[in-house]
Structure 1
């Protein structure tokens, strides 16, 4: 579904990705893990059209999308939930959600947007309760749900999630990851960027490890969880407790 080949990208004269490659098949949850500064967010930004790659290919359903503008990427079926959420704090929850359907509204799909508003309210009941409140008044976990719901309003085939667990309490992290699993079961494909490697790999089918702009390891998620180097560098001693808690 998504193929990234030999991607080089960066900012100014600083190269953050040095020929990174990965693939995501339809229906998968693929985890991309690594330390801060490894280039994970840069890769997502390149896929989403927020930065222009210096070199390499990005294909969505065999169509090249590298260098295209964000609205074209959204129209191709890719939604981004960025790190930091990028909400519009003074605007209401409902208005933030409607903005996620901007391209659809331009095409006149008002009824479809109305139906999808109801769908995301069912998926995230707290947003229905808070729909008239300013987005900036929500808690961190509620804002993360709003960011995910806003991305869903574009009816994506694939969601790119950038550090969805950042700043959240463990119970909220588990709730967010449960929602990811539910959405995946409903047919949405995920590329999940996470510093919380144990959480990401526990729900993923496959994973990649990115270090200083280069892919250094890839494989089945369970194999990566069992890999001694991955355990040492990214998982910590208590990763099994998280995994067993989800079993």
Structure 2
């Protein structure tokens, strides 16, 4: 579904990605892990059309994304949950969700938007409880749920997530990742960027390791979890609270 070949990205004269290649097949959940500054967010921004200065090839469903603006990429079926959530604090929870479907609303898909809105409120019951509240009054975990719901309102076939666990308590992270696992079961394709390597690899089919703009390792997620170098570099933290009770 997603094919990236020899991607090179630049910020001014600085190269952020150096010939990165990556693929995500339909129905997969793929994790991209790496330290802060490795270039993970840059890769997602290039996919979404938010970064104009890049070289290489990005294809979605066999068609190039080069030169397309973000709305056109969303229309193709790609949606992103950005780092830091970037919700609209003064707007209500409902209005934030509806903004995720702005292209669909312009296409007069009002019935479909309303149906998916109910699905999001079922997926995240706390958002139903707080539907009329300003989004800025939500907790960090609730805001992350809102950001995921907003991205899903675009009815994507490929969901990108940029550091969804950032700043959240372990129990909240578990809820978010359990939700991603359930979404994958519906056939949604997911690419997740994470510093929380173990949490991401535990739910992923495959994984990639990015270091200072270069892809240094790739493989089945279960294999990466057992890789000595991955353990040394990324799995040193104690995530026992996250996994407590997962059974």
Fold-level match, TM-score > 0.5? yes
SS in 1 for 2:83: coil
Residue of structure 1 in register with 2:51 after alignment: 51
Q: Which residue of 1 aligns with 2:41?
A: 41
CA deviation after TM superposition for structure 1 residue 240, in Å: 7.4
2-side partners of 1:244 and 1:134: how far apart? 33
User: Mind listing any 5+ residue stretches in structure 2 that lack a counterpart?
Assistant: none
Query: Which consecutive unaligned segments of at least 5 residues does structure 1 have?
Result: none
Q: Is the 8 A contact 1:198 1:243 kept in 2?
A: no
Is the Cα–Cα contact under 8 Å of residues 51 and 67 in structure 1 kept in the other structure? no
1:33/1:193 contact within 8 Å kept: yes
Structure 1 pair 49–202 and aligned structure 2 pair: CA distance change class (3 A): same
Matched, 1:220 2:214: no
**1:181-228: CA deviations, max 9, x gaps?**
001101111000000000000000000000000000000001000000
After TM superposition, the structure 1 = structure 2 runs for residues 68-147 of structure 1, keeping only pairs within 5 Å, are 68-147=68-147
Counterpart check, 1:198 vs 2:198: yes
What is residue 10 of structure 1 aligned with on the other side? 10
**3-state secondary structure, aligned to 1:145:** helix
With structure 2 as the length reference, what TM-score do the two structures score?
Answer: 0.97
Displacement of 1:237: 5.7
Residue 66 of structure 1: CA displacement?
2.2
Q: Are the counterparts in 2 of residues 53 and 66 from structure 1 also a CA contact under 8 Å? A: no
Structure 1 match to 2:157:
157
Give SS of 2:131's match: coil
CA distance in structure 1 between the aligned counterparts of 2:35 and 2:53, rounded to whole angstroms:
21
Provide the rounded CA distance (Å) in 1 between the counterparts of 2:90 and 2:66: 33
Contact 2:88 2:96 in 1 (8 A): yes
CA distance, structure 1, for counterparts of residue 50 and residue 168 of structure 2: 25
1:127 CA displacement: 0.6
CA distance in 2: counterparts of 1:133 and 1:242, whole angstroms = 29
Residue equivalent to 2:170:
170
The runs of 4+ residues in structure 1 deviating greater than 2 Å are 237-247
How far apart, in 2, do the equivalents of 1:158 and 1:192 lie?
11
| TM superposition shift of 1:14 | 1.5
Mapped partners of 1:237, 1:44: distance in 2:
25
- TM-score with structure 1 setting the length: 0.97
2-structure distance, mates of 1:237, 1:132: 38
Alpha-carbon distance in structure 2 between the residues aligned to 1:98 and 1:234: 37
**Alignment partners' CA distance in 1, 2:70 and 2:84:** 18
SS at match of 2:67: coil
